[in-house]
């Protein structure tokens, strides 16, 4: 869809990346460390100062203690972290429960390592999990459950009751958890992000994954991290060493320096909620039906009052004829499910959003 948007000069609200620059201070810190010579291999698990900063952030926000040396690993983006955690733990015949609509890297990672994805379903229109369904899907082959909150593509957010239900389901089992929390700092309307880190029983069996690219508007840098107990981190690093080895050095040093100011992520919910609210207010003047957007920088909409086209056809038409690119939510189902929903990304400049809205309200 990004390529199609470029070919037709459309406003790109499809792929999830900002169209604005990161903080000049962050760029200055990276440039400083490049000039200072931090251009060779860093330690395999990540620069010590960055791992320490990550552990401090997690402790400050979630009151969870991770030892930087043995329990925090810097990764080449969250996608690599997810794949590496799967590869470290999933063997042929293992089952991994995922929630549909499911972020597109999970199932290929499971299948490439010989596992089988088992699908639970987020309930429309709030896209909430049915924990009775999850409980019924557990078998002796269940190796792992992957959760994602705030959720891409739907923007839904797990509550304390959801984590309590998950905790009860896995109690007394050897089931592991990957908690994809890359949008952890984008939760709105005063809600609290319920990180797995907050729940000791869950944290003890979990790989908790986040993304500097999402948090600091630098998706092209491809830097993330995983926090996990020492035993799980040791297995993770056995794979990490050979599928990535390490992550670019000057960006790590720059991020470590930048993280000494917590407001850069503490203020992020307000920053993105203003964009969400502007975009939603504009769409309310259109024939799109707004679905909840509790977190992430995505807004899903129903378009049944505008067209009966299948989602992919509608997204292409929207791009080529109306000049605004979106993503069909059916792309996030293993077997494409036509619900008449597309996803917009509102991580854009205000003028970009207003220009897109001017086009969308004509429909």
CATH architecture of 24-260: 3-Layer(aba) Sandwich (3.40)
Fold matches, 2-16+266-360 and 24-260: no
301 phi/psi in degrees, rounded to 5: -140, 150
pTM: 0.96
pLDDT bracket for residue 339 (50, 70, 90): confident
Q: What is the DSSP letter of 128?
A: B
Q: Which residues pair with 147 in a beta bridge?
A: 179
pLDDT bracket for residue 329 (50, 70, 90): very high
Residue 34: how many other CB atoms lie within 10 Å: 15
Element (H, E) at 72: strand 72-75
| Residue 115 scores a pLDDT above 70 | yes
| C-alpha 111 chain-centroid distance | 20
CA distance 276 to 348: 10
Matching CATH number, 2-16+266-360, of 3.40.50.1980, 3.90.1150.10, 3.40.50.2000, 3.60.70.12? 3.90.1150.10
Return the higher-pLDDT residue of 109 and 261: 109
3-class secondary-structure state, position 248: coil
Q: Minimal CA–CA distance to 306: which of 345, 331, 340?
A: 340
| Domain edges within the chain | 2-16+266-360, 24-260
Return the higher-pLDDT residue of 301 and 263: 301
End-to-end CA distance of the chain: 20
Q: Give 217-260 pLDDT, tens digit per residue.
A: 999 999 999 999 999 999 999 999 999 999 999 999 999 999 99
Element (H, E) at 266: helix 263-266
Please report the DSSP string for 192-212 in residue order: PP--GGG-HHHHTTEEEEEEH
Q: What is the pLDDT of residue 335?
A: 64
Lowest mean pLDDT among 129-143, 235-249, 331-345: 331-345
Helix 249-258 with 24-35: angle, nearest 10 deg: 130
Helix 350-360 with 268-283: angle, nearest 10 deg: 20
């Amino acid at each position: 869809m990004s390529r199609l948007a470029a070919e037709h000069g459309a406003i790109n609200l499809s792929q999830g990346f900002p169209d604005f620059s990161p903080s000049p201070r962050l760029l200055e810190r990276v440039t400083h460390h490049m000039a200072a010579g931090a251009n060779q291999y860093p330690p395999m698990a990540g620069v010590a100062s960055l791992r320490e900063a990550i552990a401090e952030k997690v402790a400050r926000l979630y009151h969870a203690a991770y030892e930087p040396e043995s329990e925090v690993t810097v990764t080449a983006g969250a996608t690599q972290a997810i794949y590496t955690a799967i590869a470290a733990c999933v063997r042929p015949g293992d089952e991994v429960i995922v929630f549909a609509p499911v972020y597109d890297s999970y199932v290929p990672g499971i299948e490439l390592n010989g596992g089988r994805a088992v699908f639970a379903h987020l309930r429309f229109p709030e896209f909430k999990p049915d924990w009775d369904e999850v409980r019924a899907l557990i078998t002796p082959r269940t190796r792992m459950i992957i959760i994602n909150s705030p959720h891409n593509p739907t923007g839904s957010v797990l509550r304390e009751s959801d984590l309590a239900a998950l905790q009860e389901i896995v109690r007394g089992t050897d089931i592991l958890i990957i908690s994809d929390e890359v949008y952890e700092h984008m939760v709105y309307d005063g809600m609290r992000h319920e990180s797995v880190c907050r729940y000791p029983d869950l944290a003890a069996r979990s790989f908790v994954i986040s993304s500097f690219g999402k948090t600091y508007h630098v998706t092209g840098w491809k830097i993330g991290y995983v926090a996990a107990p020492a035993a799980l981190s040791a297995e993770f690093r056995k794979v990490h060493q050979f599928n990535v080895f390490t992550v670019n050095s000057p960006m790590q040093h720059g991020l470590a320096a930048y993280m000494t100011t917590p407001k850069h992520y503490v203020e992020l919910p307000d920053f993105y909620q203003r964009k969400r609210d502007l975009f939603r207010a504009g769409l309310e003047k259109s024939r799109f039906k707004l679905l909840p957007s509790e977190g992430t920088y995505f807004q899903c909409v129903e378009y049944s009052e505008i067209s009966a086209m299948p989602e992919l056809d509608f997204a292409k038409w929207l791009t080529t004829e109306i000049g605004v690119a979106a993503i069909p939510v059916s792309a996030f189902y293993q077997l494409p499910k036509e619900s008449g929903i597309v996803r917009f990304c509102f991580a854009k400049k205000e003028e970009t959003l207003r220009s897109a809205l001017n086009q969308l309200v004509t429909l």
